[in-house]
C-alpha cells in the first residue's frame, strides 16, 4: 500500500484529500496544529470507515522549525517511506499594512514556505522513487488582494518553489506540483461575514465557493499522472476570467 503524509490533514482541504486517498487504499499520516478533539474525531471516523488503511496522527506546529524532527523522527523510527508528500497546512495574517510586525510576518513565512522547504529537505531520502509532492498554493498568490500581504507573498513563493524544485528532484524522479484553490468552504473562511462572502460570490463565474471535496480530483490527478511536473493548477470557479 502507498503512503501519503498530509500537513494540516485533519480539517478542510487536507481531510478531504485524506479521505480521497483512503478511498484509493492509501495509508495516511495527518499532521495538525492544536485542535485535538477535531483530530481525534476525524481519525476515529477514518479508522472505522477505512479499516484496511493505516491512519496516523502527528501533532506538529508547522510554524516552528524546531518541530521538523517530530515528523522526520517518526518516519525514520517506523521505517516509513512516502509515495506522496502534501504540504497543505497554511497560515495567514490579516493585520493592516501599517501595523504588520516582523514576528507575524515571519510566522506566515515559516508555516507557508520555510517549514515545507526544510521538511522536504529532511525527508527527501524517505521519498520513494517516483513519489510526488503537492503543495496547496492559492489564487491569492496569483491575483493579489490586499487583505493579507504576507499570505499573498508566501503563496506566490510556494508557486515559485514548485517550479524551482523540479530540477532539484529530477534525478530522484520525484514530481513537484501545486493546487491553487480560489475560495473554499472550510473553517478558514468561517469568520468572513455573510455580506463579504456574497461580495466574493459575485466575483466568481460559478457564483459560489468551492467545496473541499471538489478539489480532490485535482490532487489525485497530480499524484497519479506520471508526467505532470512543475504545474500550479488553479481551481477558482472562473474567478480569474470573470
Ligand atoms: N479555504 C480557502 O478558501 C483556501 C483557499 C486557497 C488556499 N487555501 C489553503 O488551503 C490550505 C488548507 O486550508 P483549509 O481552508 O483547509 O483550512 P482549515 O479547514 O482551517 O484546516 C487547516 C488544517 O491545517 C492545520 N493547521 C493550521 N495551522 C497549522 C500549523 N501551524 N501547523 C500545523 N497544522 C496547522 C489545522 O490543524 P488544527 O485544526 O489543529 O489547527 C487543520 O488541520 C492552507 O494552506 C490554505 O492557505 C485555502
Dump pLDDT digits (tens) for 82-113.
999 999 999 999 999 999 999 999 999 999 99
Max mean pLDDT range (53-67, 140-154, 183-197): 53-67
Question: Of 32, 50, 151, 219, which one is the catalytic site residue?
Answer: 151
Around ligand 1, the residues with Cβ closer than 6 Å are 7-14, 31-35, 38, 60-63, 88-91, 111, 136, 138, 181, 183-184, 186-189
Q: How far is CA 210 from CA 6, 71, 133, 187, 222, in A?
A: 20, 30, 23, 13, 19
Q: Residue 100, exposed/middle/buried by CB under 10 A (0-12, 13-18, 19+)?
A: middle
**φ/ψ (deg, to 5) at 183:** -110, 120
E strands, 88-168, are: 127-136
pLDDT tens digit string along 195-224? 999 999 999 999 999 999 999 999 999 999
Q: Which helix (H) or strand (E) holds 27?
A: strand 27-32
| Predicted pLDDT of residue 146 | 72
Helix (H) or strand (E) holding 198: helix 194-202
**Is 151 known to be catalytic?**
yes
pLDDT digits (tens, 9 = 90+) for 134-153: 999 999 999 987 789 999 99
- Pocket test of ligand 1: the residue of 89, 135, 147, 183 to mutate, having most ligand atoms within 8 Å of its CB, is 89
> Which residues, 6+ apart, have CB-to-CB distance to 222 below 8 Å?
132, 134, 175, 177, 179, 228, 231, 233
* Ligand 1 nearest atom to the CA of residue 38, by list position: 39
Amino acid at each position: 500500500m502507498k503512503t501519503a503524509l498530509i500537513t494540516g490533514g485533519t480539517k478542510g482541504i487536507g481531510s478531504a484529500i485524506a479521505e480521497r486517498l483512503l478511498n484509493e487504499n492509501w495509508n495516511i499520516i495527518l499532521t495538525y496544529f492544536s485542535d485535538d478533539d477535531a483530530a481525534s474525531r476525524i481519525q476515529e471516523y477514518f479508522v472505522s470507515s477505512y479499516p484496511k488503511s493505516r491512519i496516523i496522527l502527528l501533532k506538529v506546529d508547522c510554524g516552528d522549525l524546531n518541530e521538523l524532527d517530530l515528523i522526520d523522527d517518526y518516519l525514520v523510527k517506523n521505517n516509513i517511506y512516502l509515495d506522496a508528500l502534501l504540504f497543505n497546512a497554511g497560515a495567514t495574517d490579516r493585520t493592516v499594512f501599517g501595523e504588520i510586525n516582523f514576528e507575524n510576518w515571519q510566522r506566515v513565512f515559516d508555516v507557508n514556505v520555510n517549514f515545507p522547504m526544510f521538511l522536504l529537505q529532511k525527508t527527501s531520502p524517505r521519498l520513494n522513487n517516483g513519489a510526488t509532492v503537492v503543495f496547496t498554493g492559492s489564487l491569492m498568490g496569483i491575483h493579489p488582494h490586499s487583505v493579507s500581504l504576507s499570505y499573498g507573498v508566501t503563496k506566490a513563493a510556494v508557486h515559485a518553489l514548485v517550479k524551482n524544485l523540479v530540477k532539484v528532484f529530477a534525478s530522484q524522479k520525484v514530481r513537484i506540483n501545486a493546487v491553487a484553490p480560489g475560495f473554499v468552504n472550510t473553517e478558514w473562511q468561517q469568520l468572513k461575514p455573510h455580506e463579504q462572502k456574497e461580495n466574493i460570490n459575485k466575483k466568481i463565474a460559478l457564483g459560489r465557493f468551492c467545496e473541499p471535496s471538489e478539489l480532490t480530483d485535482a490532487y489525485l490527478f497530480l499524484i497519479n499522472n506520471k508526467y505532470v511536473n512543475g504545474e500550479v493548477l488553479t481551481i477558482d470557479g472562473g474567478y480569474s476570467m470573470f
